[in-house]
């Protein structure tokens, strides 16, 4: 029993010693980091700060979400595709351009029926993003785009968010919520 007690005491002393050694070895590192704040700033942080500050003047940042180098705004009301785009432009952004699987997942996870920045209104069947680039990688739902003959379906929306491919072509005059994207300078 005495030997067990002595062993416990030695173990306790060892743990306390390790704790203090660890704490005191961190002090020089913390002091150096505190004295050299510039070393922990990200590259181009002045440009990033300037971009955030200028963007703050055109919108309320608390309504925007940051993901993968862009800011995203999701409306709370519904408008037609063109009215939605106009709203994004007034905010210094545009309707979202989905150019990666990660961005597709990000937008799909909102689980809302919403406009994205894709249309074939210039020429039927030629889908272009709002920046004028042609659609290369797509996430159309099964049997989409189908372009109902009874009405023009020239605008793209996120619709079926229970599956990886969620896009649907729809009449641009219908009202939906929308998602704006503002790319940040890198």
pLDDT digits (tens, 9 = 90+) for 16-39: 765 555 555 555 555 555 555 544
| pLDDT of the residue at 40 | 47
The three-state secondary structure class of 186 is coil
pLDDT single digits (tens) 142-185: 889 887 767 789 999 998 778 889 999 999 999 999 999 999 87
- Tell me the whole-structure pTM to 2 decimals: 0.67
* Residue 92 backbone zone (phi > 0: left; psi -120 to 50: alpha; other: beta): left
Three-class SS state of 101: helix
Report the share of the chain in percent with pLDDT over 90.
Answer: 49
Whole-number mean pLDDT of the chain? Answer: 82
Cross-strand pairs, 31? none
Spell out the domain ranges in the chain: 2-35, 56-183
What is 56-183's CATH superfamily?
A: Mannose-Binding Protein A, subunit A (3.10.100.10)
DSSP secondary structure string, 105-169?
HHHHTT---EEEEEE-SSSTT--EETTSPBP-S--BPTT-----TTS---EEEE--TTSS--EEE
Q: Which of 94, 83, 89 is nearest to 117 (CA)?
A: 94
pLDDT computed for residue 163 by the predictor: 84
């Amino acid at each position: 029993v005495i030997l067990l007690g002595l062993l416990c005491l030695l173990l306790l002393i060892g743990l306390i010693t390790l704790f203090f050694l660890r704490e005191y070895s961190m002090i020089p590192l913390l002091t150096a980091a505190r004295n050299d704040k510039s070393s922990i700033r990200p590259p181009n942080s002045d440009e990033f700060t300037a971009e955030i500050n200028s963007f703050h003047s055109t919108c309320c940042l608390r309504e925007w979400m940051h993901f993968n180098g862009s800011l995203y705004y999701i409306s709370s009301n519904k408008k037609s595709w063109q009215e939605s785009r106009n709203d994004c432009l007034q905010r210094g952004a545009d309707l979202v351009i989905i150019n990666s699987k990660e961005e597709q997942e990000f937008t799909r996870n909102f689980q809302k029926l919403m406009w994205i920045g894709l249309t074939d209104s210039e020429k039927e069947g030629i889908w272009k993003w709002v920046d004028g680039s042609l659609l290369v990688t797509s996430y159309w739902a099964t049997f989409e785009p189908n372009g109902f003959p009874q009405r023009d379906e020239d605008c793209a929306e996120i619709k079926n968010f229970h599956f990886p491919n969620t896009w649907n072509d729809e009449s641009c005059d219908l009202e939906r919520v929308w998602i704006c994207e503002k790319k940040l300078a890198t």
